[in-house]
Homo-oligomer: A and B are copies of this chain.
Amino acid sequence: MRLSQYFLPTLRENPSEAQIVSHRLMLRAGMVRQSSAGIYSWLPMGLRVLRNIEQIVREEQNRSGAIELLMPTLQPAELWKESGRYEDYGKEMLRIRDRHERDLLYGPTNEEMITEIFRASVKSYRDLPRNLYHIQWKFRDEVRPRFGVMRGREFLMKDAYSFDLDQEGARHAYNKMFVAYLKTFARMGLQAIPMRADTGPIGGDMSHEFIILAETGESQVYCHKDFTTFDAAVNVDFDDVAKVQSFVDHWTSLYAATDEKHDEAAFAAIPEDRRVTARGIEVGHIFYFGTKYSDPLKCAVAGPKGESITLHMGSYGIGVSRLVGGIIEASHDDAGIIWPEAVAPFKVGIVNLKPADAACAAAAADLDAKLAAAGIEALVDDRDASAGEKFATMDLIGLPWQLVVGPRGVKAGTVELKQRRGGKREEISAESALARLAGAA
């Protein structure tokens, strides 16, 4: 993609409305534009990152055996009256009346709707267990939307819902999501820590928030330092109930809690040099809630002897649009964003210092074509602008690799390869640079 033909409205100045670094950088890097309080348009560069994150979430959900569907954004009020949440939900629910005076709402979550779909579709214990998920826009009418996409009103969420015949089955469903979540975040370059969260009237131990540490995090968190070096990039056979359980046991063996569930005494028992007190951003939440919705909505199947079995459910959310901000909070410097490769909008930026020079233009186009042939998308800065401006833009938008093409290098057959993270630069042959980038693909 050539920048001269792209749509990347970067800003030179720091926008005054942005209080946190991810919001500031997303506006400056031309990733989003606010249309109303807490409602954003995703400009081309922002959308590419959003889609990359969405795709990683999807792949790991599928790998764990969850099945994708798509529920609509608008829901009928009746469903929420059946569960009793229509009145309880309060002002965060955006209530809508259509032309026939029927009450609708913009879904803030989908427990009711998925339960309705399941009860209408599945009648026999033979068709259990199932885990169904979708990735869809939600709306919560926050009283004070802020922090850009981190606390927006219209936001993209992955929400999965598991259906099981009993609590034991539900625990395995829960554990599978636990594993899938850690792998999902690890693929995005994030060290997420599962922290015990509130279970409300359900009780038990099956509620975890997944937290990444960042200075601007919304909540205070406490955990054992060893979590920061735990490795989630292991392969677990999702059908092996015991292996999945032991993975979860390992990841819950050390202390980790948000403010809400913090236990001073348990924390004090950790050796002092292993205690971490930090700010955290919640990027996922998994929760077992038993028959909370299947009871009132009568979601049951016939068992082996014809008996009626009310299903046990859990729900599993990942804030897809929020993650865009979360990753920036965890990965940036003074010059701008530093994208982990797996979510980067383009893997490589080609800086053409002299686009008007035919040899430079040809060299840049050649690099671009060879990268494309290797399956690597590049953004070519072919604007009529100063070298300083181009370098600043590249650092701001945070592509993992930069290739600098200039008249001197073109003559010598070399390019400058710069890694955004760390800033290491090398003057090498174009072939070596291509081999390096394709090898690292």
Interface residues of A (CB under 8 A from B): 5-7, 9, 30, 33, 35-37, 39-44, 47, 50, 65, 67-76, 79, 91-92, 94, 96, 98-99, 102, 104, 106, 113, 116-117, 120-122, 130, 132, 137, 139, 141, 143, 154
Contact = CB atoms under 8 A, between A and B. Distances in A.
Nearest to A96: B96
A39 B74 contact: yes
- Interface residues of A: mostly helix, strand, loop or mixed? mixed
Given A9-B122, A74-B139, A36 B67 contact: no
Given A67-B6, A67-B7, A72 B41 contact: yes
Given A41-B117, A113-B41, A72 B35 contact: yes
Contact of A41 (B40, B44, B71, B92): B71
B113 A35 contact: yes
A154 to B, nearest CB: 5
A36 B141 contact: no
Contacts of A40: 72
A44 B71 contact: no
Interface centre among A33, A70, A73, A122 (most CB of B within 10 A): A70
A44 B68 contact: yes
B68 A36 contact: no
Contacts of A137: 72-73, 137
A91 B102 contact: no
A122 B9 CA distance: 7
Q: Sorted from nearest, which 7 A-B pairs have the closest CB atoms? A: A9-B121, A42-B70, A36-B76, A91-B99, A41-B71, A99-B141, A39-B72
A35 B75 contact: yes
A440 B387 CA distance: 50
A21 to B, nearest CB: 22
A7 to B, nearest CB: 5
B50 A70 contact: yes
Given A41-B71, A96-B96, A137-B137, 4 more contacts: A7-B121, A47-B70, A73-B154, A92-B99
A69 B47 contact: yes
Contacts of A5: 65
Contacts of A106: 74, 96
A33 B120 contact: yes
A42 B134 CA distance: 10
Interface centre among A72, A74, A104 (most CB of B within 10 A): A72
18 contacts: A6-B67, A9-B120, A9-B121, A9-B122, A33-B117, A33-B120, A35-B72, A35-B79, A36-B104, A39-B74, A39-B76, A40-B72, A41-B71, A42-B71, A44-B69, A72-B137, A72-B154, A94-B98
